[in-house]
Structure 1
Amino acid sequence: MFRLLIVDDEERARTGIRTLIDWAAHRIEIVGEARDGAEALEIMKLNRVDILLTDIRMPVMDGLELIERVAEVYPNTKNVIMSGYDEFAYAQKAMTAGASRYLLKPSRRQEILDLVVQLTEEIADERREEERLEELKSGFRESFPFLKENALSRLALTERPPYDRLLANLKLNDISFPFTFFGALVVQIDDFHRVQQSYGSVDIELFKYALKNIAEETFAPLCRCAAFEHHDDLFLLLNAEEWLDAKTLVPYAEAIQRNSERYLKFTVSVGIGSFDRSIRHLRASCREAEKALNARFYGGNGKIADYLEAAEEEDFTHSSYPLADEKAVLQAIAKGEQAAIRDSLQAFLSALQPESSLKESVINSIFALYFALYRDCIEKNVNVHEVFGSGLDEITRMLARSGLEHIMASLTDTALKIAEHLNARKNGNRLFESVLAYVREHFRKDISRESVAREVYVTPGYISYLFKQQMQTSFIDYLHRIRIEHASRLLKDHSLRISDIAHESGYQDEKYFFQVFKKHTGMTPNQYRNNL
């Protein structure tokens, strides 16, 4: 059963929704009714609510605030907002706050029923997904992956493994290789660094476990297949009765890609190694599959590459580091023009010739540019923690486990963020100059930090921040300094009375003028005039 809560300050509306629709026929239970948001929250404390159907305009707590609270406390609840045409702006805010759908009032009962039934289907799908993930977790806990993984890894990746002992260990896990021909594939999660950040370390391990199951089940009709993880990549060891070429393996690789995207919600790339007699060929086949993926690094996500491309990689040339293009990137950042920054980064990438260079060479050059940006921030006193987060170590991990498209997107974001910091500083300098100019022009008047802030459209606190940052003084001390300098010039004219000079300098209280003047000059106005 799915549980529905109706919230509306009009009793007639609540009664109509409750009675005019046969909710039970659709496995929906009305868990309660509320006149406002506060009352609805009290009901939800005691009852699970799957779907919340609420009006916008209500006393005590309106629908918009209710949805914000529910989205925060009960994130699995589906929220439906009901609004009239003249309340469409509120409906838009509600969608942003966490509403799943909205209905225009007045709504026909079939419209309400159709929408609620659609939400129950979404809830059912989410519950099935949770159950499936729980089953995967249970299977993961009950298996013995570590012994199996270690044996498969040593069998395929070490130079002279103890074949007999490793095969005996694998037999304990019901894994055997009875056929003559051996080959390998590498399955790589595209932009692994981004996927890991999105899901977290626990979920990503679960997803890799699910990907192994998908891969092994996909190849089961063709040959024996055993999968293991190495440096976050998935290696598939294939054992077949006959020699298999890349053309035969590509449809199975494509099936892994489709199922990964469908069930795990991320894309993968696949490298295919060659087949040959003897289990000793596994190590060479794994290296071929890895090289094939590196050779297609420029090709983006969702690629399939075979060992023939790995052979071509041997002829790739290393690109030299484009210092001129690095300088153009730094200059574009200094100017703060977004289009120029993007163009200069694209020119930098083009200079690396990633389509004809080793992946390692391209990655090293991009890291060198990252380091140049980091150094530029230090030289220009930009907070590197705000720009780079935890530092260059995280960037190194991102470069190693991401596709070229994601790497360039991350590099572009970093460059734009630096430019934003520099532009903010420039804007702050221009604003401060306008503040100083205003004070110098209007110091004779009764001005204050608050009145100046209003003139330049900032807060008084920001005015104080600017003076402290730029001049290591306060606004009021600067104002007194300007006024006293002006008064000192006027004191040279002995025909002017000191009281007139005080007023002309912005002080209406002559006694206060004397106090401030002495504080700043060490003398009273009369002493200062006599010493001239």
Structure 2
Amino acid sequence: MIHLMIVDDEERARTGIRTLIDWPNHGISIAAEARDGAEAIELLKEYPVDILLTDIRMPEMDGLTLIEHVASDYPHIKCVIMSGYDDFEYAKKALAIGASDYLLKPSRRQEILDTVLKLKDQIEEKQMQVRRFEQLHAGFRESFPLLKEKTLNRLVTTENPPYDRLLANLRIHGFEFPHLFFGVIILQIDNFHLMQRKYGNEDIELFKYGLKNIVEETLSASSPCAAFEHQDDLIVIINAEEWTDTETWIPIIEKVQQNTRTYLQFSVSAGIGSFDKDISHLKTSYREAMKALDMKVFIGAEQIVDYKVTVDDDPIYTSYPLAQEKAILQAVMNGDRAAIKAKLDEFNEALKPEGSSKEHVLKSTLALVFALYRFCIEKNINTDKVFGQNLAELTHIVEHSSMDYIMHAILDIVLSVSGQLNEKKNNNKLFQSILEYIQQHYYKDINRETVAREVFITPGYLSLLFKQELKTNFLDYLHKIRIDRARELLHNRSLKISDIAHDVGYNDEKYFFQVFKKYVGMTPTQYRNNLED
């Protein structure tokens, strides 16, 4: 049952919404009613609510404030705003701050029902996904012991493994390979680093477990198979009764991709190795499948690559496109976004799959990243704002993504560098105008607020600029300017010290003495007495 709350200061409106629609017949119950936002907030503490239907104009607390509160404290609740034509701008604002939909008053009964039912479907779909994940969690906890995974891993990835002993370990767990022919298929989650950003470690492992289930259930319909994780990839051992051409597995893997997209909502790519007699062929097939999967860097995500379709191991073209790198950095210096995109495209074009290996492409793209990093250091740009605090993530992106995605990620980095550089240039110009204003008006009654107002920034931002550019604060800088000028004037013994204090901006002579001694180490009188005639 979905729970609905009605919030409106007009009792007739609340009664109409409650009585004119047969809510229980649609699986919806009226959890509570409130006359304004303040009362609604109190009721939310007592009653479970899934959908909140609220007016905009109400006493005590209006609908916009209520929606902001709900979005912050009850993010699972779907909010629908009700407004008249005159309040349409408020309705748009409500959508911007968290409302799911809006209704124009007066609303027909069917319009209200259709809107609520649409949100009900969204809620139930979300609940279904949660239940699906809970089921996967339960299966994950009851999975095979880790020993089986390690045994399968050694069969495939190590040199000259003890086959008899490893196969005996598998039989202990009730698993064996009954047939003569063996081959390897490797599946890789596309853009895996994005998933790592979005989800926690437990959810990531759950996704891998769900993928493993899909793979084993789909492939086992054709031949016995076993899947295990290795360096975030899923390696599948296929045990076939007779020799099988690799093309036979393409439609089966396509079904795996389709099921993964449907049930787990991410995509995978696959590399297929050859099939041959004897379990010792697994190592060869594994290498072939890995080499096939390397092609993904050139052809993009959600691909299936046969080991026979690979690039040359001995590439002809191995030089780094240094001229294109310099052109990119020059475009960054100029702040020309169009030129940046064009020069990066030229860099990409210089890394052609016909003459390059995956290793050369990856090394070249990483070299460009580090050139950008060095550029930031030389220009005193905050590298954390551009690259984040962990450069290893960029390495992971390069190693596990297609060229299109890699270049998209690098374009984001380059544009960020350009943006930071432009911001720094603008800040320098702004700060110079601030210093010029102080130099010209230091003798007046100025402070941080008046100077900030003159250059159209906030006092807080002005303080930040002083800290960034001069490693000092505004007041210390102003005192320094005034005291330096006072020291010059003290050379003229015809001027009274009280007049000098006033001329440099201090109306209180006693305060002038205190500040002067703090910055010079002696009083104005002592300073004048120490001057040579």
In the TM superposition, residue 196 of structure 1 has moved relative to its aligned partner by 1.8
RMSD: 3.2
Q: Which amino acid aligns with 1:342?
A: K
Give 3-state SS (helix, strand or coil) of 1:279's partner: coil
- Taking the aligned partners of 2:471 and 2:136, their CA distance within structure 1 comes to 61
Q: Cα 1:463–1:122, aligned 2, differ >3 Å: closer, same or farther?
A: closer
Between 1:38-47 and 1:432-441, the stretch displaced more is 432-441
In the TM superposition, residue 210 of structure 1 has moved relative to its aligned partner by 0.9
Between 1:416-425 and 1:194-203, the stretch displaced more is 416-425
Between 1:12-21 and 1:132-141, the stretch displaced more is 132-141
- Taking the aligned partners of 1:166 and 1:358, their CA distance within structure 2 comes to 35
Give 3-state SS (helix, strand or coil) of 2:9's partner: coil
- Taking the aligned partners of 1:146 and 1:26, their CA distance within structure 2 comes to 48
Q: 1:89-138, CA deviations, whole angstroms, 9 ceiling, x for partnerless residues? A: 32223223222222222111111111212222222222222112111111
Asked if the contact 2:497/2:524 (under 8 Å) is kept, the reply is: no
- Taking the aligned partners of 2:425 and 2:416, their CA distance within structure 1 comes to 14
Q: Which amino acid aligns with 2:244?
A: L
Between 1:485-494 and 1:277-286, the stretch displaced more is 485-494
Q: Cα 1:173–1:8, aligned 2, differ >3 Å: closer, same or farther?
A: farther
- Taking the aligned partners of 1:130 and 1:231, their CA distance within structure 2 comes to 28
In the TM superposition, residue 268 of structure 1 has moved relative to its aligned partner by 0.8
In the TM superposition, residue 465 of structure 1 has moved relative to its aligned partner by 3.9
Give the structure 2 partner of residue 387 of structure 1.
386
Q: Which amino acid aligns with 1:237?
A: I
2:109 maps to 1:104: no
Asked if the contact 2:513/2:523 (under 8 Å) is kept, the reply is: no
**Residue correspondence of structure 1 range 423-502 to structure 2 within 5 A:** 423-443=422-442, 445-471=444-470, 475=474, 479=478
Asked if the contact 1:498/1:525 (under 8 Å) is kept, the reply is: no
- Taking the aligned partners of 2:359 and 2:289, their CA distance within structure 1 comes to 16
- Taking the aligned partners of 2:79 and 2:60, their CA distance within structure 1 comes to 19
Give the structure 2 partner of residue 201 of structure 1.
201
In the TM superposition, residue 48 of structure 1 has moved relative to its aligned partner by 1.4
2:155 maps to 1:131: no
- Taking the aligned partners of 1:25 and 1:59, their CA distance within structure 2 comes to 33
Q: Which amino acid aligns with 2:452?
A: A
Give the structure 1 partner of residue 238 of structure 2.
238
- Taking the aligned partners of 1:472 and 1:28, their CA distance within structure 2 comes to 62
Give 3-state SS (helix, strand or coil) of 1:409's partner: helix
- Taking the aligned partners of 1:211 and 1:161, their CA distance within structure 2 comes to 27
In the TM superposition, residue 337 of structure 1 has moved relative to its aligned partner by 2.9
Asked if the contact 1:4/1:31 (under 8 Å) is kept, the reply is: yes
Asked if the contact 1:3/1:49 (under 8 Å) is kept, the reply is: yes
Give the structure 1 partner of residue 255 of structure 2.
255
Q: 1:139-178, CA deviations, whole angstroms, 9 ceiling, x for partnerless residues? A: 1111214122122222222232233333333334443322
Structure with a larger share of its residues in helix:
1
Q: Cα 1:31–1:320, aligned 2, differ >3 Å: closer, same or farther?
A: same
2:372 maps to 1:373: yes
- Taking the aligned partners of 2:476 and 2:196, their CA distance within structure 1 comes to 53
Asked if the contact 1:190/1:301 (under 8 Å) is kept, the reply is: yes
Give the structure 2 partner of residue 6 of structure 1.
6
Give 3-state SS (helix, strand or coil) of 2:350's partner: helix
In percent, how many aligned pairs have the same letter?
Answer: 57
In the TM superposition, residue 223 of structure 1 has moved relative to its aligned partner by 1.8
Asked if the contact 1:269/1:301 (under 8 Å) is kept, the reply is: yes
Q: 1:481-519, CA deviations, whole angstroms, 9 ceiling, x for partnerless residues? A: 666777888999999999998877667788988998898
Give the structure 1 partner of residue 39 of structure 2.
39
In the TM superposition, residue 231 of structure 1 has moved relative to its aligned partner by 0.8
Give the structure 2 partner of residue 364 of structure 1.
363
Q: Cα 1:502–1:21, aligned 2, differ >3 Å: closer, same or farther?
A: same
Give the structure 2 partner of residue 287 of structure 1.
287
- Taking the aligned partners of 1:145 and 1:408, their CA distance within structure 2 comes to 40
Q: Cα 1:313–1:263, aligned 2, differ >3 Å: closer, same or farther?
A: farther
- Taking the aligned partners of 1:159 and 1:341, their CA distance within structure 2 comes to 47
Q: 1:393-438, CA deviations, whole angstroms, 9 ceiling, x for partnerless residues? A: 3333333333333332332222333333322222121112212333
Asked if the contact 1:36/1:61 (under 8 Å) is kept, the reply is: yes
In the TM superposition, residue 217 of structure 1 has moved relative to its aligned partner by 1.8
- Taking the aligned partners of 2:426 and 2:523, their CA distance within structure 1 comes to 37
Give the structure 2 partner of residue 329 of structure 1.
328
- Taking the aligned partners of 1:109 and 1:338, their CA distance within structure 2 comes to 52
- Taking the aligned partners of 1:91 and 1:427, their CA distance within structure 2 comes to 37
- Taking the aligned partners of 2:201 and 2:516, their CA distance within structure 1 comes to 66
Q: Cα 1:415–1:54, aligned 2, differ >3 Å: closer, same or farther?
A: same
The unaligned stretches of length 5 or more in structure 2 are none
Q: Cα 1:184–1:426, aligned 2, differ >3 Å: closer, same or farther?
A: same
**Residue correspondence of structure 1 range 54-203 to structure 2 within 5 A:** 54-203=54-203
Between 1:366-375 and 1:499-508, the stretch displaced more is 499-508
In the TM superposition, residue 209 of structure 1 has moved relative to its aligned partner by 0.9
- Taking the aligned partners of 1:504 and 1:459, their CA distance within structure 2 comes to 28
2:395 maps to 1:399: no
Q: Which amino acid aligns with 1:142?
A: E
Q: Cα 1:116–1:513, aligned 2, differ >3 Å: closer, same or farther?
A: closer
Give 3-state SS (helix, strand or coil) of 1:313's partner: coil
In the TM superposition, residue 440 of structure 1 has moved relative to its aligned partner by 3.7
Between 1:136-145 and 1:436-445, the stretch displaced more is 436-445
- Taking the aligned partners of 1:154 and 1:514, their CA distance within structure 2 comes to 82
**Residue correspondence of structure 1 range 513-532 to structure 2 within 5 A:** none
- Taking the aligned partners of 1:295 and 1:317, their CA distance within structure 2 comes to 17
- Taking the aligned partners of 1:423 and 1:178, their CA distance within structure 2 comes to 66
- Taking the aligned partners of 1:480 and 1:129, their CA distance within structure 2 comes to 64
Q: Cα 1:173–1:436, aligned 2, differ >3 Å: closer, same or farther?
A: same
Asked if the contact 2:183/2:274 (under 8 Å) is kept, the reply is: yes
Between 1:354-363 and 1:25-34, the stretch displaced more is 354-363
- Taking the aligned partners of 1:322 and 1:230, their CA distance within structure 2 comes to 34
Q: Cα 1:294–1:504, aligned 2, differ >3 Å: closer, same or farther?
A: same
- Taking the aligned partners of 2:33 and 2:414, their CA distance within structure 1 comes to 53
Asked if the contact 2:53/2:79 (under 8 Å) is kept, the reply is: yes
Give the structure 2 partner of residue 225 of structure 1.
225
In the TM superposition, residue 477 of structure 1 has moved relative to its aligned partner by 5.8
